[in-house]
Structure 1
Amino acid sequence: MTTATAFVPSRFQLTRHSDTFWRVTFDNGPLNLIDGQMNLELHQLLDLVEQDDQLAVVLFDSNNPDYFLAHYAADADMSPLDALEPKQATPWLHWATFLVRLSKSPAVTITALRGRARAAGSEFALATDIRFASRERGVLGQFEVALGVIPGGAPSTRLAGLVGRGRAFEIVLGGEDFDGDLAERYGYVNRAIPDAEFVEFVDAYAQRVSRFDRRALGDIKGFINAASLPDDIAVMAEMRAFGEAVPREPATRLIPAAFQAGWGQPGDFELHLGTRIAEVTATD
């Protein structure tokens, strides 16, 4: 079990503003990619959250104005996840398990979305309790269908309850980007805030909630979770379906083509991924 004194994350910064309010700021290279080490450290973070009987709010933000969490780094070293139980689980199931733990964590979790959060980045945001987006800088999307796979971290399962069946199909089947305005209109995020006001608004909200009684917050979260969270079995089934799709056609052709086009690298392809990912399918 992770202890507070031993925890020194390398993929994000943990700031304990008070006993009741923590901030997690993602800081992992030019794209803020999720990799095996970040996945491990996020599990370790939740160990601390689950052990703390005073913590009320955890706010997640990014030090990168262009990327909140770009997506999972498909070519990343996954060996850090060997430290997690069960040992026989695939790296992808460790990601799904983290998302389930995040949604059920005792603290209220808030995503402060400035920059891009696609695929696993979008899945992370959807697993938090509240999502605020910068109107000008926030971007969400699930592009996996263009690579011949399904999204693995349960957006198909979560989105239907948030945005409705038709809009869930639109988001997951289209593979396009949704800016802050459209994401707010659909219910993909709670609210889109002008970027000039974003930090002040989100910090004030997080601070306000963190001052309320923790037991009351936990009870409220428990009742809302019971009424709204997808079944854990459905979440894991979605991730298993993703894992089964990766090693088969057409993913075995499309994923290398995406890397060749600039996927996972700083540049125009990543910046405009929701549009340009369709080029991979068109030219394959």
Structure 2
Amino acid sequence: MKDTDFDRIRISCNDGVSTVTIDNPPVNVLDAHLMSEMRHFLLSVRNDPKTRVLVFQSADPDFFIAHVDMTLIDEPYAFDDFVQGAPEGLNPFQAFGELLRNLPQVTIVKLAGLARGGGAEFISAADMVFAAEEQAGLAQCEALMGITPGGGATQYLSSRMSRGRTLEIILGADLMDATTAERYGWINRALPAKKLDAFVDQLAQNISALPDGVIAAAKKAVPAADMREGFRREHEAWAGLFERPTAETLIRRGLKAGAQTKEGEKKLEALLRSLKI
């Protein structure tokens, strides 16, 4: 898999570690093109024995993956190909997270900026997450758009923390700093921003250098939870709310007010709370 195969991501490989750099300006929204490229890469690498660790980072220090592209409300067929390829019982966003979660490689997110919605769900599906104390933030802000998370957050968060904290994140819908996210169990560690790169790079290299069979044995011994029934409930809740006019109204007004621009995304929760129905 060559770097030139993609427009929205860049791939570099070194001693069994593949680093995926997300680059989808202006704020790395998870649009159909980015999701397609990420999915294509993950499918291509999952059976590669030479690739032992995947590290995900962003070319933009302010944003990891902003969230699912809100303009897709006008492109109802954008994910038709994903639906056809999704495992039975999963919507395309859940299937995307599950593809990441079930890879044989160790997956590590290096979070320097903000991740919300589908971006935060991608992070929660990874094996490990390390974030910059001074810069990183996570949010499941879907409730402010009249919906609940539909890409795995209800299940991934519930496996990482208490029900009360999961509901706080989903219904409180506020941006959480890295230090608090560490305390809640959303991420592995919050680190000083100047130490983040070196820490993750060393960890990835250390894991990649382990003797053959160790990574596979560890991932088998610490199994991924079976969340199929939970995904069904999540999809029904999300889809039922998305069919209501409130969600469309809030999404359109959010875009008009500046969502998916750099300035708007820096204060997205406040922007969405200011909208009137």
TM-score in same-fold range (> 0.5)? yes
Identical-residue share of aligned pairs (%): 30
Counterparts of 2:83 and 2:256 in 1: how far apart (Å)?
Answer: 34
> Which residue matches 2:183?
185
Offset, 1:184: 1.0
SS at match of 2:138: strand
The corresponding residue for 1:34 is: 30
Question: Which of 11, 24, 30 is the equivalent residue of 1:14?
Answer: 11
Question: Structure 1: which 5+ residue stretches go unaligned?
Answer: none
Q: State how 1:225-236 maps to structure 2 within 5 Å.
A: 225-226=223-224, 229-236=225-232
Q: Does 1:277 align with 2:272?
A: yes
Separation in 1, partners of 2:95, 2:13: 25
- 1:93 counterpart residue number: 91
Query: Matches of 1:14 and 1:105 in 2, distance apart?
Result: 17
Structure 1 residues 81, 6: CA separation in 2 closer, same or farther (over 3 Å shift)?
A: farther
Counterpart contact for 1:119–1:151, Cα < 8 Å: yes
Q: Say if 2:246 is the partner of 1:245.
A: no
How many residues are paired up? 273
CA distance, structure 2, for counterparts of residue 17 and residue 111 of structure 1:
17
Q: Which of 177, 193, 196 is equivalent to 2:194?
A: 196
Provide the TM-score with structure 2 as the length reference: 0.91
Partner of residue 51, structure 2: 55
Say whether the 8 Å CA contact 2:70–2:251 is kept in structure 1: no
What TM-score do the two structures reach when normalised by structure 1? 0.89
Root-mean-square deviation over aligned CA pairs: 2.2
Aligned counterparts of 2:37 and 2:180: Cα–Cα separation in 1 = 32
Distance 1:6 1:110, change over 3 A: closer
Deviates more, 1:173-182 or 1:269-278: 269-278
Which residue matches 1:260?
Answer: 256
* Superposition deviation, residue 214 in structure 1: 4.4
1:203 alignment partner AA: D
Q: Which runs of 5+ in 2 are unaligned?
A: none
1:71 aligns with 2:67: yes
Distance verdict in 2 for CA 1:28–1:6, change over 3 Å: closer
Residues 112 and 132 in structure 1, CA contact (< 8 A), matched pair in contact too: yes
